[in-house]
Amino acid sequence: MTTLRPVILTGDRTTGQLHLGHYAGSLRNRLDLQETHDQFLLLADAQALTDNAHNIAKVRENVFQVALDYLAVGIDPAKSTICLQSALPALAQLSMLYLNFVTVSRLERNPTIKDEIQARGFGRDIPAGFLCYPAAQAADITAFRATLVPVGEDQAPLIEQTNEIVRRINAAAGADLLPEARALIPPVGRLPGIDGRQKMSKSSGNAIPLSASADEISHAVRQMFTDPNHLRVEDPGCVEGNVVFRYLDAFDPDKKELEALKDHYRRGGLGDQKVKRRLEDILQALLEPIRERRLELAEAPDYVMDVIRKGTGRAREITDRTFDDVARGLGLFVL
Amino acid sequence: MTTLRPVILTGDRTTGQLHLGHYAGSLRNRLDLQETHDQFLLLADAQALTDNAHNIAKVRENVFQVALDYLAVGIDPAKSTICLQSALPALAQLSMLYLNFVTVSRLERNPTIKDEIQARGFGRDIPAGFLCYPAAQAADITAFRATLVPVGEDQAPLIEQTNEIVRRINAAAGADLLPEARALIPPVGRLPGIDGRQKMSKSSGNAIPLSASADEISHAVRQMFTDPNHLRVEDPGCVEGNVVFRYLDAFDPDKKELEALKDHYRRGGLGDQKVKRRLEDILQALLEPIRERRLELAEAPDYVMDVIRKGTGRAREITDRTFDDVARGLGLFVL
């Protein structure tokens, strides 16, 4: 791991176990990225608190669960740094500093924040921490001097806001203290829930967690939505928006066979059962080793804790140094 | 210094040298309080940045100046702890945590914030750090477990907001993690500027800094507003709202003589010159040793830095411990 590699910051809010949607959208990419980048994975418990202050136990318990998920899919602590957000004081220090370089109305105009305020039904009772989280995210990104941030398309405005803060800090310092970051939008779109809903989430009951048992996987695939108009095997079926095919697009390693299968389905004569069987085989093969590794790791909590501790230790050195650089560069009083 | 003494948190934004108004309203009390309390004086540079992000040099330079003022008036580092806000990461960590326990609309309703937003003419462009500073102040107060906070009457709502956060944190933890604090309103009201304006401030040019030379003191007293209708010595004069008498009320050690003087002034036959001479003698006697001590200390910057470093070191231990207690008490994931 050399610091000459480009730095990537990514991570997950610790509000639940990770699922197939995470695997398709981000975890899989991270396995590649750790080979070529200096990758930091943030167990984002502090950010999770911005809308879960009433349920801290959930946020705490999922720190360990998400770390298990990372290691189970093949994140290698020798290549990637797994670290705990709330244990990195420089992130809070930079957040508080950056809040002076962004106005309340700018935060309120952030499209991601606007959408999420609506989605969460906060109304007038937005926790201040939630409104401020773009500044906290700017702190996360810049503390690691990350230049690449994998995000969903809907989160690109957050990177723009980070870069606005970076430009203001650099202007105030009269020097290029911090690099701007670039959003890395994943090639694969978001995986739908098994019920066809846009978003897979544990709370909606439409997710397949990475820890799913063989039976749970079978059950989920059986329940999966297909083409509601494809009633008889001989009918022509629709592939677009068909959840089973969306999953095959994401996970089938044999793209040629998949295209042939789609053609057959469109023509008619291919039953949902057969397509689902193919998907199930693929998912069972994908998830079995992850599940087994996850069970092994769960039996070795000391090892997992050690990974988090060591990663957080490394992250602390880096982020403390950044805060010190920023404080000196801006001309704060430094002891 | 025993920890059994009640804890007081006080301090000053590092935006300018301290002046007679600070002496009358707070510094003087602190000399008494340090004999009976565990007193922390916060060099509040981080708070100063919430409305001075465009002028960081001013905030930095006045850290040292305010520390000089403290030591010059007789704050004793063996009795009081002088510490630098931006060098205490736990304050930022607690601030970010507390922001999750207060809503944006509650911050906007804070009367002190409302007044100050108007006074500063921020309009819609309020820096987010400024809106959030009540949470930061709650962090300052609770990080030291202070139960007494000397504030002006206009700042009492900030203590109420702190206590609201304390109650929420304690409720979330299901334990009395943090003590509530009480505002300690100073017995003497605010000292007016020499021009009679409500507030003495360096930027208004109506302040007498603690570092004022003998000539500057003479000049300031000569310029001081009296009763505009008291034109001839033999005329009856008004004592109420008369700046010279407001200052005598604050600094004249001989209250009996002062009452006699007021009676004489009211009856007529006592000229402004004579009253001003009395005030000047008192102020010269008060400020001469402070000025001399300040000059000596300015020649010994290493000593002053050492005081700030040692105080901040002690403060860091205490505030880090509080953050750790709060994190564990709330049930965050602690490494």
Q: How far is A72 from chain B, CA to nearest CA, in Å? A: 20
pLDDT at A124 over 80: no
Q: How far is A57 from chain B, CA to nearest CA, in Å? A: 6
Dist. CA B13–CA B142, nearest whole Å = 18
- Interface residue of B43, B64, B96, B133 to substitute, partner A, most A CBs within 10 Å: B96
pLDDT at B156 over 90: no
Chain B contacts in chain A segment 113-132 (CB below 8 A):
124-132
End-to-end CA distance of chain A: 32
Dist. CA A8–CA A14, nearest whole Å = 19
What pLDDT score was predicted for residue B61? 98
Architecture of the domain spanning A7-191+300-330: 3-Layer(aba) Sandwich (3.40)
pLDDT at A257 over 80: yes
Q: Which of A92, A96, A331 sits opposite B57 (nearest CB)?
A: A331
Q: Identify all chain B residues contacting A333, using CB atoms and an 8 Å cutoff.
A: 14, 43, 45, 59-60, 63-64, 84, 86
Q: What is the mean pLDDT of residues A252-266?
A: 96
CATH 1.10.240.10 fits domain A212-295:
yes
Say yes or no: A298 contacts chain B, CB-CB below 8 A.
Answer: no
CB contact under 8 A, B104 and A92: no
Judge whether A73 and A27 are in contact, CB under 8 Å. yes
Q: How far is B166 from chain A, CA to nearest CA, in Å? A: 14
Say yes or no: B59 contacts chain A, CB-CB below 8 A.
Answer: yes
pLDDT digits (tens, 9 = 90+) for A270-285: 999 999 999 999 999 9
Q: Which of B93, B104, B127 sits opposite A99 (nearest CB)?
A: B127
Q: Identify all chain A residues contacting B14, using CB atoms and an 8 Å cutoff.
A: 333
What pLDDT score was predicted for residue B267? 94
Nearest chain A residue (CA) to B132: A128
Q: What is the mean pLDDT of residues A244-270?
A: 95
Say yes or no: A174 contacts chain B, CB-CB below 8 A.
Answer: no
**How far is Cα of residue A31 from the mean position of the Cα atoms in its chain?**
13
What SS3 state is found at A172? helix
Look up residue B146 and give its two tokens: 């202070």
pLDDT at A331 over 50: yes
Instruction: Output the CA angle B54-B84-B111, nearest 5 degrees.
Output: 60
At residue A82 the predicted structure's pLDDT band, cuts being 50, 70 and 90, is very high
Beta-bridge partner residues of B165: none
Look up residue B102 and give its two tokens: 């207060």
pLDDT at A1 over 60: no
Dist. CA A311–CA A315, nearest whole Å = 6
At B123, give phi and psi (nearest 5°).
60, -135
Looking at this protein, which amino acid is placed at residue B290? I
Please tell me the number of Cα atoms within 13 Å of A31 on its side-chain side: 12
Q: Identify all chain B residues contacting A84, using CB atoms and an 8 Å cutoff.
A: 333, 335
Look up residue A284 and give its two tokens: 């069972």
Q: How far is B112 from chain A, CA to nearest CA, in Å? A: 17
Q: What percent of chain B has pLDDT over 70?
A: 98
Dist. CA A160–CA A166, nearest whole Å = 10
H or E stretch covering A224: none
pLDDT at A122 over 80: no
The complex scores an ipTM of: 0.94
Dist. CA A111–CA A298, nearest whole Å = 39
From residue B322, alpha-carbon distances to B90, B328, B330 in Å are 8, 10, 12
Angle of helix B89-98 relative to helix B133-143, nearest 10 degrees? 120
What pLDDT score was predicted for residue A120? 77
Dist. CA B71–CA B142, nearest whole Å = 25
CB contact under 8 A, B99 and A126: no
What pLDDT score was predicted for residue A111? 85
Q: How far is A125 from chain B, CA to nearest CA, in Å? A: 5
Say yes or no: A177 contacts chain B, CB-CB below 8 A.
Answer: no
CB contact under 8 A, A333 and B95: no
Q: What is the mean pLDDT of residues B82-96?
A: 98
In the DSSP assignment, the letter for residue A240 is: T
Q: What is the mean pLDDT of residues B121-148?
A: 92
Q: How far is B105 from chain A, CA to nearest CA, in Å? A: 6
Say yes or no: A335 contacts chain B, CB-CB below 8 A.
Answer: yes
pLDDT at B1 over 50: no
At B253, give phi and psi (nearest 5°).
-75, -20
- Interface residue of A52, A85, A104, A324 to substitute, partner B, most B CBs within 10 Å: A104
pLDDT at B132 over 70: yes
Right CATH for B7-191+301-330 from 3.40.570.10, 3.50.50.60, 3.40.50.620, 3.40.1710.10: 3.40.50.620
Dist. CA A111–CA A109, nearest whole Å = 6
Residue A18: closest CA among A252, A201, A283: A201
CB contact under 8 A, A130 and B309: no
Q: What contacts B11, CB < 8 A, 6 or more positions away?
A: B40, B41, B42, B43, B44, B85, B140
Dist. CA A129–CA A137, nearest whole Å = 11
Residue A215: closest CA among A294, A298, A284: A284
CB contact under 8 A, B96 and A92: yes
Right CATH for B211-295 from 3.40.1390.10, 3.30.300.350, 3.30.420.40, 1.10.240.10: 1.10.240.10
What pLDDT score was predicted for residue A94? 98
Say yes or no: B137 contacts chain A, CB-CB below 8 A.
Answer: no
Chain B contacts in chain A segment 24-53 (CB below 8 A):
43, 45-46, 49-50, 53
Q: What is the mean pLDDT of residues A253-280?
A: 96
Spell out the domain ranges in chain B.
7-191+301-330, 211-295
Nearest chain B residue (CA) to A136: B96
Nearest chain B residue (CA) to A83: B335
What pLDDT score was predicted for residue B3? 55
Torsion, CA B122, CA B126, CA B129, CA B131, rounded to 10: 90
Q: Is the dihedral of CA A171, A175, A177, A181 positive or negative?
A: positive
pLDDT at A27 over 50: yes
Fold: same for B7-191+301-330 and B211-295: no
Look up residue A128 and give its two tokens: 């201040």
Q: Identify all chain A residues contacting B124, using CB atoms and an 8 Å cutoff.
A: 103-105
Q: Identify all chain A residues contacting B86, using CB atoms and an 8 Å cutoff.
A: 93, 327, 332-333
Beta-bridge partner residues of B40: B9, B81
CB contact under 8 A, A93 and B95: no
CB contact under 8 A, A86 and B327: yes
Say yes or no: A92 contacts chain B, CB-CB below 8 A.
Answer: yes
Q: Identify all chain B residues contacting A60, using CB atoms and an 8 Å cutoff.
A: 331-333
Residue A102: closest CA among A172, A207, A55: A172
Q: Which of B105, B124, B136 sits opposite A125 (nearest CB)?
A: B105
Could you tell me where the beta strands, DSSP code E, fall in A23-170?
38-44, 80-84, 148-150
Q: Which of A49, A57, A126 sits opposite B104 (nearest CB)?
A: A126
- Interface residue of B333, B334, B335 to substitute, partner A, most A CBs within 10 Å: B333
Among the residue ranges B78-82, B269-273, B318-322, the one predicted with the least confidence is B269-273
